[in-house]
Amino acid sequence: MRKQLISIGISCYNEEENVGEAYRRLRKIIRGIKKYDFEYIFVDNGSLDKTRIEIHRLVQKDRAVRGVFLSRNFGPEASSQASFDFTKGDAVIWYPCDLQEPEELLPTFIKKWEEGYDSIIGIYTKLEDPMLIVFLRKAFYKIMRIISNVNIPINSSGFGLYTRRVVNAMMHLPEKYRFARGIRAWVGFSTAYIPYERKKRIHGKSSYSLISYFQHAQRSVFGFSYLPLDLLIWFGLILVFLSFLFIIIYILFFFLFGNPIKGAVTILVSIVFFGGVNLLALSIIGKYIQVIVEETKSRPTYIVEKTEKRGYICP
């Protein structure tokens, strides 16, 4: 009887010091799990260091390792998607190569899968990131729970196990403007959450900056929430009501007191205020139009330069 296959998708960007260590740590855990076969899919997202060389060495060393090399850096969402697209397993574990997620949780993920869950997702309870990033991250997820049309748990991560039907459901969604955690929540299926403490990065430097987090937040808001547009409608109605009220008051003052409402400052402030509101409204609408343009272009999320498996190189 064929053993079920579990794929481990590993996203890499400038992780030359972590690739080999990630493989060794995963192998150490997997040696104790005899009832399943495993494969490793290392996805290099256009690294500028020796990450490709390290992945190539692992490919030559182990038939279970496959290397997928993207033609350039397409961003973390594209890298994580590729690590799912090239898997063949009955279940897929996504594991980032920065070594900050505890590989010791893999047996727990597998046990929950055996219990019947389709998605087993890690929830970090402790972060070693700067306090500002920690605060902004928590605030972001709390806001998303309020404004989005999907339920994304606070401090959820991509680290976890996903059954083949969950992976297939996510892969068949045609959208290009992707937010993986939102997509996973949108497809549904039975889900278990496993808390863990995120480790401090030992080797290398995170490619995520404050701007990266902001761009990530944009993807989630404009991909899974229409609340900004709804707020614009209500805000516009309120402004119309206030303007109408001001006109009535102005007319009353004109007939009762001879038009005492004067002052260029008041007019100037009003112009600046309404101009700012219009600019903000146009910016929000513009972002939604940008999403539409990205989707209609139908460009692929990423381009593969080549894939490697021991004895095979596919351009």
Average pLDDT of each block of 10 consecutive residues along the chain (315 residues)? 84 85 87 86 87 87 88 82 86 86 87 88 74 71 71 77 88 74 79 82 61 66 68 70 69 66 58 68 73 72 80 54
Residue 148's H or E segment, with its range, is: none
Tell whether 244 and 184 lie within a shared domain. Answer: no
Tell whether 101 and 140 lie within a shared domain. Answer: yes
Tell whether 9 and 22 lie within a shared domain. Answer: yes
Predicted pLDDT at 215: 66
Predicted pLDDT at 13: 85
Tell whether 179 and 241 lie within a shared domain. Answer: no
Cα–Cα distance for residue pair 196/105, rounded to 1 Å: 8
How many beta carbons lie within 10 A of that of residue 304, not counting itself?
Answer: 16
Predicted pLDDT at 57: 87
Predicted pLDDT at 269: 58
Q: What's the domain range around 174?
A: 4-225+300-314
pTM: predicted TM-score of the whole model, two decimal places: 0.71
Tell whether 284 and 198 lie within a shared domain. Answer: no
Tell whether 33 and 169 lie within a shared domain. Answer: yes
Tell how strand 91-96 and strand 4-12 pair up: parallel
3-state SS assignment for residue 110: helix
Cα–Cα distance for residue pair 74/274, rounded to 1 Å: 39
Q: Please report, for the domain that includes residue 76, its CATH number.
A: 3.90.550.10
Q: What is the DSSP letter of 269?
A: H
Chain CA centroid to CA 315, Å? 28
Q: What is the DSSP letter of 149?
A: S
Tell whether 97 and 246 lie within a shared domain. Answer: no
Residue 174's H or E segment, with its range, is: none
**Residue 194 backbone phi and psi in degrees, to 5:** -115, 115
Tell whether 293 and 308 lie within a shared domain. Answer: no
Tell how strand 65-70 and strand 36-44 pair up: parallel
The CA dihedral of 107, 111, 113, 116, to the nearest 10 degrees, is 180
3-state SS assignment for residue 7: strand
Orientation angle between helical segments 180-187 and 210-224, nearest 10 degrees: 30
Tell whether 132 and 185 lie within a shared domain. Answer: yes
Which amino acid is it at 120?
Answer: I
Q: How many domains does the chain have?
A: 2
Residue 108: is it exposed, middle or buried by C-beta count within 10 angstroms (0-12/13-18/19+)?
middle
C-beta pairs of 234-243 under 8 Å, 24+ apart in sequence = 235/277, 236/281, 239/274, 239/277
The residue behind tokens 């490919």 is: 59
Judged by phi (left if over 0) then psi (alpha if -120 to 50, else beta), residue 116 lies in left
Tell whether 124 and 259 lie within a shared domain. Answer: no
Predicted pLDDT at 204: 55
Cα–Cα distance for residue pair 190/185, rounded to 1 Å: 10
